[in-house]
Amino acid sequence: MYVYRPHDKQLLSERVAQFRDQTRRYLDGQLSNDEFLPLRLQNGLYIQRYAPMLRVSVPYGMLSSTQLRMLGRIAREWDKGYAHVSTRQNIQYNWPDLEDVPDILAALAEVEMHAIQTSGNCIRNVTTDEFAGINAAEIEDPRPWCEIIRQWATFNPEFAYLPRKFKIAVNAVPDADPALIGVHDIGVQVVHRDGETGFRVLAGGGLGRTPMVGEVIGDFVPWPHLLSYLEAILRVYNKYGNRDNKYKARIKILVKALGAEKFRALTEAEFAELKDGPMTLTADEVDTMRGHFSTPAYDTALGQRPAALEEALASNKAFNRWFHTNVTAHRQPGYAAVTLTLKKTGRAPGDITDEELDAVADLAETYSFAEARTTHQQNIVLGDVRQDQLFPLWEKLDALGFATPNLKLLTDMIACPGGDFCSLANAKSIPIAEAIQRHFDDMDYLHDLGPIDVNISGCMNACGHHHIGHIGILGVDKKGREYYQITLGGRGDKVSKIGEKLGPSFDADQVVPVIARLVDLYVEQRKPDELFVDTYERLGIEPFKERAYATDH
């Protein structure tokens, strides 16, 4: 994990002092709402339906146990006892009092965290695969590249006033996209060519209004030029991006309007100016950064599948099921990654209480080198668990209610806060998630169905990633009433693909029966081992449409 240097710490404490003063002046009436707005946004603070919302940055989703405990303390002392894991791996607080925010930021700074660049028209938190560094399929650890990008982007004055917010993700797994780079403003794919590291760079992806998959702009950017190349893309965006209309301001609209070829040519022209300049990375710098992500002290004497694990798998059915659902292979023999699904029925997906944050910190210390990771599916991962410790860990997770074996299954939903908290919402999303979870409560049936991503957003901003859900649910408003539009066939796994609209939207009470009918059709039509989304791709939308709107079914 990246450990702050003295100047990083100084930067944060100066920022906290500055915001404390700005907040004081606002509360004293010396700053108007309009004057305070950009200042609070620069510190991750939105004003929402009922209260401010504070978004805390979690670079590439990595958290130490000390940070987890601080997040728990903040939830307890300054919020309503819980925090929320967002689809960009950040942590959000829904109920802080404005006057407490400087204290919260000071508490965060104590553990090397902040809320800088988590909102506003700037480069946001850089994300990657939640299994970065432990995924056997990746060609190298993407996190040092994320950290290099993060340091370049933080307080970069040239990119402090972009036309719109900007999201960068890095993926180092070939033939799969666990970081969802296809739907980011810039997606960076780590590739090796002739023994050299380089990057395939995509630009112009994004969800929200007008969802799009990014276009390849740089086919192979050698590693020393990563920052110069990214800077070239951002310059083109800064120069030509639309600043008149917020809805046309994202880079995806620019790439689409110019066409990938023109955009590439403009980028190459900027890159020619920047190449070999001061931003060129050196082997020393990259090595130093890699040093921050050194391998934990694994026991290298361990082999695969210890006897203790085999025995537990053979003797305990519930553990066996959880192992096959929520445990992921690890590149280090004898270790595994464990996902805790934060999807308890009756609670908003991604919510975690202060006590649970403390408990996860304890478990991370006992079982996982004192580290955990947040995921874009709003879950938490303990990344480095010895396989012979999986059974005792599972027992503890079970007692905490974190061992529901539903990772990637239909009830492991992504959902935005929707109308319950968000002032932009057209409809509620949390009660829809809950209704689906209550209906599909038979674990055997869920396992039989296999992986199905259900993603729910309360409006077209798509915080809940509905476009890339195998089943997407979007809240829409028609004359003051809440309806739900279903999309099918979206995906964010091997490739990013935007789902297709099924047809007219449904009443809230129709969502569960419609999903049940779509799933029934899948069960009737699937080939052995075929996923829901693959059956959908094979059959096309028509039979699903027919079934969803069938009245005699």
Compute the least distance from the CB of residue 378 to ligand SF4, in Å: 12
Residue the block writes with tokens 């319950």: 420
CA distances 501 to 16, 50, 94, 339, Å, are: 45, 32, 31, 31
Q: Which partner from the list ligand SF4, ligand HEM, none does 242 bind, CB cut-off 5 to 8 Å by kind? A: none
88 vs 491, which CB is nearer to ligand HEM? 88
Number of residues written out for the chain: 553
498 vs 521, which CB is nearer to ligand HEM? 498
Q: Which residues 243-272 are close enough to bind ligand HEM by CB under 6 A?
A: 250
| Binding of ligand HEM by 330 (CB under 6 A) | no
Q: Are 469 and 414 in contact (CB under 8 A)?
A: yes
| Binding of ligand SF4 by 422 (CB under 6 A) | yes
Q: Which partner from the list ligand HEM, ligand SF4, none does 418 bind, CB cut-off 5 to 8 Å by kind? A: ligand SF4
476 vs 539, which CB is nearer to ligand SF4? 476
Query: What is the spatial distance between Cα 200 and Cα 216, in angstroms, rounded to a whole number?
Result: 7
| Binding of ligand SF4 by 458 (CB under 6 A) | yes
Region at 457 (left for phi over 0; alpha for psi -120 to 50; beta for the rest): beta
Query: What is the spatial distance between Cα 451 and Cα 324, in angstroms, rounded to a whole number?
Result: 12
| Binding of ligand SF4 by 416 (CB under 6 A) | yes
The residue within the footprint of ligand HEM, chosen from 148, 181, 207, 234 (CB under 6 A), is 207
| Binding of ligand SF4 by 459 (CB under 6 A) | yes
142 vs 349, which CB is nearer to ligand SF4? 349
| Binding of ligand SF4 by 464 (CB under 6 A) | yes
Structure tokens at 332: 């280090």
Q: Which residues 28-67 are close enough to bind ligand HEM by CB under 6 A?
A: 46, 48, 53
Query: What is the spatial distance between Cα 97 and Cα 58, in angstroms, rounded to a whole number?
Result: 21
| Residue 407 CA from chain centroid, whole number | 15
DSSP symbol at 434: H
23 vs 378, which CB is nearer to ligand HEM? 378
| Binding of ligand SF4 by 224 (CB under 6 A) | no
Number of chain positions touching ligand SF4 (CB under 6 A)? 13
| Binding of ligand SF4 by 433 (CB under 6 A) | no
Sequence-distant (≥ 6) Cβ neighbours of residue 5 within 8 angstroms: none
DSSP symbol at 119: S
The residue within the footprint of ligand SF4, chosen from 16, 413, 463, 521 (CB under 6 A), is 463
Supply the Cα-derived Rg of the chain in whole angstroms: 23
Number of H helices, E strands in the chain: 18, 23
CA angle 202, 206, 208 (to 5 degrees): 175
Compute the least distance from the CB of residue 33 to ligand SF4, in Å: 21
* Contacting range for ligand HEM; rule: CB under 6 A; set: 151-159, 206-214, 289-297, 531-539: 206-214
Q: Are 10 and 92 in contact (CB under 8 A)?
A: no
Helix (H, G, I), strand (E, B) or coil at 87: coil
The residue within the footprint of ligand SF4, chosen from 197, 238, 242, 461 (CB under 6 A), is 461
| Binding of ligand HEM by 424 (CB under 6 A) | yes
Q: Alpha-carbon dihedral of residues 96, 99, 100, 103, nearest 10 degrees?
A: 140
Number of chain positions touching ligand HEM (CB under 6 A)? 21
173 vs 462, which CB is nearer to ligand SF4? 462
Compute the least distance from the CB of residue 305 to ligand SF4, in Å: 42
Compute the least distance from the CB of residue 45 to ligand SF4, in Å: 16
| Binding of ligand SF4 by 490 (CB under 6 A) | no
51 vs 139, which CB is nearer to ligand SF4? 51
Q: Which partner from the list ligand HEM, ligand SF4, none does 206 bind, CB cut-off 5 to 8 Å by kind? A: ligand HEM
Q: What is the SS3 string spanning 288-350?
A: HHHHCCCCCCCCCCCCCCCHHHHHHHHHCHHHHHHHHHHEEECCCCCEEEEEECCCCCCCCCC
Strand 127-128 vs strand 168-171: parallel, antiparallel, or unpaired?
Answer: parallel
94 vs 228, which CB is nearer to ligand HEM? 94
171 vs 368, which CB is nearer to ligand HEM? 171
Q: Which partner from the list ligand HEM, ligand SF4, none does 120 bind, CB cut-off 5 to 8 Å by kind? A: none
Look at residues 70, 117, 118 and name the one whose alpha carbon lies nearest to residue 90: 118
218 vs 472, which CB is nearer to ligand SF4? 472
Query: Containing H/E element for 128?
Result: strand 127-128
209 vs 290, which CB is nearer to ligand SF4? 209
| Binding of ligand SF4 by 85 (CB under 6 A) | no
Q: Which residues 120-159 are close enough to bind ligand SF4 by CB under 6 A?
A: none
Compute the least distance from the CB of residue 486 to ligand SF4, in Å: 16
Look at residues 69, 4, 61 and name the one whose alpha carbon lies nearest to residue 355: 69
| Binding of ligand HEM by 461 (CB under 6 A) | yes
Look at residues 260, 274, 269, 285 and name the one whose alpha carbon lies nearest to residue 202: 260
Look at residues 460, 464, 537, 446 and name the one whose alpha carbon lies nearest to residue 494: 537
Contact footprint for ligand HEM (CB under 6 A): 46, 48, 53, 86-88, 92, 183, 206-209, 250, 416-417, 421-422, 424, 461-463
Q: What is the binding site for ligand SF4 (CB under 6 A)?
A: 416-418, 422, 424-425, 457-459, 461-464
